[in-house]
Amino acid sequence: MTAQNPSAQKRALLSVSDKSGITDFARALHEGGWELVSTGGTLQVLLDAGLPARAVSDLTGFPEMLDGRVKTLHPAVHGGILARREPGHLDQLETHNIGPIDLVCVNLYPFRETVARGAPDPEVIENIDIGGPAMIRSAAKNHADVLILVDPADYPLALQPEVAVQDRRRLAAKAYAHTSHYDAAITAYLSAETDAPQPELLSQITLELHRAHEVRYGENPHQSGAVYRWGEARGPVLDAQVLSGKPMSFNNYADADAAWALCRELAQTQAGAVACVAVKHANPCGVALGESVTQAWTQARDADTLSVFGGVVAVSHPVDLEAAQSFHGTFLEVLIAPQVSAEAVAWFAAKKPDLRVLQAAAAPVTGLDVRPLVGGFAVQERDTRQWDDLCPEVVTAAQPSEQEWRDLRFAWVTAKFARSNAIVLARGGVTVGIGAGAVSRIWAAERAVANAAENAQGAVMASEAFFPFDDVVRLAAQAGVRAVVQPGGAKRDPEVIAAADELGLSMVMTGSRHFRH
């Protein structure tokens, strides 16, 4: 074989795992005068379609080896891809009897899909593609002379008489993103330490992000925004089904995620109860436990009727028509539930057409908690510690009653999901006052007590972090609070405990802080 110059018949190398549209694309190339070269399963598909495709082994002079691990790793392939279309490189191709390759159409072994279906490790390892990424990267490097295609959606572009320089460059960038995401998935799989309860964070983390949802704008109209999926991860809100209402906004996604996280943990820690969480600006404003969705929602709404206006609500149990009708009269942005009946969806569509009604996806809480910084990210494990993981200790002479224990547990979970500094007052499985996002703990307590007003009488108080002074305890007692739960660990713990004993409050220390900034 002699090297071909740019005016001779063009050659396309096709080797795809995703065979969507490959036969029609290859036929169009053939009819346009292209020579087709292929490998493995793709070659067989083309031959079965009656297309005159050649095997890569015809170019390399070597058969596929090592159960298909080695097919295209050869100078006859990569030389043909990487050669610049200029005399020096073309002369070298001719010296070694290598023909140029002008189009590379490759997508990679289904590694993510193999992992997702729980395949055994040897099968997963075999689905780490080697030759495919090498060809993609070679073609993308030489994109000025070689078209690189990794997405069937781009096949029509390659059939145009001329492909513009900017389109070639865009395809090359897309190709490198393709291999980058693929490598990130492999890295994540090989780095997983499933036996370690608290795996050490890696020295390097690749954020493999794919746009999952478009939104009109970000937090404000002057900011662009979108919602992205991290690798192949799923999320209860990210993958929720929008059953009715307007499209989701950037803020809707953030608030719904916050509401559902608290709602789900309450349902897990309060067996048998229906949980309802109303959120405003990522903070809970009304939280309640009830025997039905209607009861839980009504109590959560009445806990703070002012703040719940325009809020996002999550409920832990299915919403039927009767429950749906209980939402009449309150303006909400989003309602998310594990299931919504067809009758309820129809009622919402007719009576509250702007309300976004979501059915949460079944997805575990996994992955890392990533916070953006200018120029980087702060990364941590998620705070998945639950009440049952703690060893609560009563540190006062007074002991909480059985009902107060239930309320302390409920208030503690709610405080864990409120922005720091956070104080939660609760009574009878309902929040009566919440102070969140304050720069001082006493200010958070004052806000919670003010919200509760007379409902603070007989309530319990939860704090997500310790009390640096006894001022919060004295405020609580003055408001009528009877029991307090906090992590403890402050230098003045003895003073705080003494104040509680003096005032007749019971106090529980958990030994576990739960800042949420």
Q: Is-catalytic flag, 178?
A: no
Q: Which parts of the chain sit beneath pLDDT 50?
A: 1-7, 194-199
Check residue 5 and give its pLDDT. Answer: 39
User: Is residue 164 located within the same domain as residue 293?
Assistant: no
User: Is residue 153 located within the same domain as residue 17?
Assistant: yes
User: Is residue 45 located within the same domain as residue 100?
Assistant: yes
Residue 217 lies in a domain: no
DSSP, collapsed to helix, strand or coil, labels residue 30 as helix
Residue 432 lies in a domain: yes
Residue 251 lies in a domain: yes
Strand pairing partners for 244? 357
The DSSP code sequence of 285-351 is: EEEEEESSHHHHHHHHHHH-HHHHTTEEEEESS-B-HHHHHTTTT--EEEEEES-B-HHHHHHHHHH
**pTM more than 0.85:** no
User: Is residue 34 located within the same domain as residue 134?
Assistant: yes
| Residues 6+ positions from 195 with CB-CB distance below 8 Å | none
CA 95 vs. chain centroid, Å, equals 53
Give the residue among 67, 185, 182, 89 at the shortest CA–CA distance from 133. 182
User: Is residue 60 located within the same domain as residue 123?
Assistant: yes
Check residue 288 and give its pLDDT. Answer: 97
Q: Residue 394 in contact with residue 507, Cβ under 8 Å?
A: yes
User: Is residue 298 located within the same domain as residue 427?
Assistant: no
Q: Residue 369 in contact with residue 476, Cβ under 8 Å?
A: no
User: Is residue 338 located within the same domain as residue 457?
Assistant: no
User: Is residue 332 located within the same domain as residue 401?
Assistant: no
Catalytic residue chosen out of the listed positions 141, 174, 213, 246: 141
Domain count for the chain:
3
Residue 152 lies in a domain: yes
CA 119 vs. chain centroid, Å, equals 23
Last residue of one domain, picked from the residues 160, 190, 220: 190
Check residue 68 and give its pLDDT. Answer: 66
Catalytic residue chosen out of the listed positions 10, 19, 213, 281: 281
Query: Omega of the bond prior to 142 within 30 degrees of 0, cis?
Result: no
The whole domain housing 419 covers 388-509
- Tokens describing residue 502: 């003096």
259: domain CATH number is 3.40.140.20
63 vs 425: CA distance, rounded Å: 73
Q: Is-catalytic flag, 281?
A: yes
User: Is residue 66 located within the same domain as residue 150?
Assistant: yes
164: domain CATH number is 3.40.50.1380
Residue 218 lies in a domain: no
Residue 197 lies in a domain: no
Residue 253 lies in a domain: yes
Check residue 4 and give its pLDDT. Answer: 39
User: Is residue 316 located within the same domain as residue 399?
Assistant: no
Residue 352 lies in a domain: yes
User: Is residue 53 located within the same domain as residue 134?
Assistant: yes
Check residue 411 and give its pLDDT. Answer: 96
User: Is residue 346 located within the same domain as residue 417?
Assistant: no
